[in-house]
């Protein structure tokens, strides 16, 4: 197995110089850096990441827990996190909470000392008291639109602004009876409530219809939920000329029902989704959607987590993981974009 000493001998430099090049230190002349890199390429040297992490008191492993791996949005987000973490020399362990509170609590409290450097969680049912009672000192970063009063970094797009952008797009196309599919009962800090709030604010500002007859609740956020909600809305006589859906899966289900009822998209009913999953680009009428910047979410989450780590003694069952940075928690807002497609603009 090729080591630092082999590369140093081939390049005619010290092992310390090779280490400086591998670790990206600046105080190496360009000529020396080129010579060392050529030796690395010729010998096929690969840094020992395990040893590097152990010297910093880390394991090189972070855990990511998501609520619905069957939802394409979360699958795509997981890919981005894994890819970006790999670029930072970290391995990602993936967990599936099914959006259940007991599983989310187990994830944030059940980390074995010395095995994981930090956690990234997209919670659904977790409560403030669960976070307050957390005993682990491993860094934790929260994803998603649930709002918490807890001392942890939180990465989430501005749902109200995104919903307003989607609704504004429909209003600018002349739609005046815009329905919202995907409302939920219960907590007011859920993403559905934030997106509903954005819808209300925008239609009210435009003087368009914003009655409760245009709001449809769903039990979940699947294609089937969207199809059923759209059917109930049509059966109620609400007669919308546009629909803003909680996510793309709900929108795809809604478009299926519209087609079965003989209604054309977008001529009779325009449809906007949320998440920009790949499926939406291949519907019979490609789906207009809000696209959260998934790469930015992944980058911000991993960077926030690693920024919380600082060098410490090698991890042991007694010492747990590296100490956590005392910096105050940050609330980071990655961007989003409205992607207009055929479900609102029609075919070219």
Residues spanned by CATH 3.40.50.2300 within the chain? Answer: 54-156+294-336, 159-292
**12-16, 159-163, 164-168: which has the minimum mean pLDDT?**
12-16
Most confident range (mean pLDDT) of 44-48, 137-141, 216-220 is: 216-220
Please say if the pLDDT value at position 78 is more than 60. yes
Residues spanned by CATH 1.10.260.40 within the chain? Answer: 4-46
Tell me the pLDDT band of 56, cut-offs 50, 70 and 90: low
Select 159-292's CATH number: 3.40.50.620, 3.40.50.970, 3.40.50.2300, 3.50.50.60: 3.40.50.2300
Give me the CATH code for the 54-156+294-336 domain, please.
3.40.50.2300
Q: Cα(72)–Cα(26) distance, rounded to whole angstroms?
A: 41
52/60: higher pLDDT: 60
Mean pLDDT of the chain: 86
Q: How far is CA 340 from CA 153, 162, 246, 289, 343, in A?
A: 32, 13, 16, 7, 8
Give me the CATH code for the 4-46 domain, please.
1.10.260.40
Which DSSP string do the residues of 142-184 spell out, in sequence order? EESS----SSSEEE---HHHHHHHHHHHHHHTT---EEEEEE-
Please say if the pLDDT value at position 44 is more than 90. no
pTM: 0.78
Mean pLDDT (whole number) for 244-258: 97
**209-223, 238-252, 320-334: which has the minimum mean pLDDT?**
320-334
> pLDDT at position 327, please?
73
> pLDDT at position 222, please?
93
Tell me the pLDDT band of 39, cut-offs 50, 70 and 90: confident
Tell me the pLDDT band of 286, cut-offs 50, 70 and 90: very high
């Amino acid at each position: 197995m090729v080591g630092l000493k082999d590369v140093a001998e081939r390049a005619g430099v010290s092992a310390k110089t090779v280490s400086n090049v591998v670790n990206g230190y600046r105080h190496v002349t360009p000529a020396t850096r080129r010579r060392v890199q050529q030796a690395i390429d010729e010998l096929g040297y690969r840094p020992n990441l395990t040893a590097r992490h152990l010297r910093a008191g880390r394991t090189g492993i972070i855990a990511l827990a998501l609520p619905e791996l069957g939802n394409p949005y979360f699958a795509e987000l997981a890919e981005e996190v894994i890819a970006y973490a790999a670029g930072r020399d970290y391995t990602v362990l993936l967990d599936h909470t099914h959006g259940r509170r007991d599983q989310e609590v187990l994830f944030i409290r059940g980390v074995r000392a010395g095995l994981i450097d930090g956690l990234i969680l997209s919670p659904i049912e977790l409560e403030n008291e669960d976070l307050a009672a957390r005993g682990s000192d491993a860094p934790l970063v929260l994803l998603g639109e649930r709002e918490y009063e807890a001392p942890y970094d939180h990465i989430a797009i501005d749902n109200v602004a995104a919903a307003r952008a989607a609704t504004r797009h429909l209003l600018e196309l002349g739609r005046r009876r815009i329905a919202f599919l995907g409302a939920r009962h219960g907590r007011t800090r859920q993403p559905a409530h934030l997106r509903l709030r954005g819808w209300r604010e925008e239609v009210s500002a435009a003087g368009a219809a914003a009655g409760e007859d245009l709001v449809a609740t769903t039990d979940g956020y699947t294609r089937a939920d969207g199809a059923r909600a759209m059917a109930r809305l049509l059966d109620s006589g609400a007669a919308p000329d546009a629909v803003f859906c909680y996510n793309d899966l709900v929108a795809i289900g809604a478009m299926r029902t519209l087609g079965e009822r003989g209604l054309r998209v977008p001529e009779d009913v325009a449809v906007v989704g949320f998440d920009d999953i790949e499926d939406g680009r291949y519907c019979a009428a490609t789906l207009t959607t809000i696209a959260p910047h998934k790469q930015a979410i992944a980058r911000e989450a991993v960077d926030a987590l690693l920024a919380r780590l600082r060098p410490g003694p090698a991890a042991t069952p007694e010492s747990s993981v590296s100490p956590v940075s005392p910096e105050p928690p940050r609330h980071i807002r990655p961007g989003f974009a409205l992607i207009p497609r055929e479900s609102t603009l029609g075919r070219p």
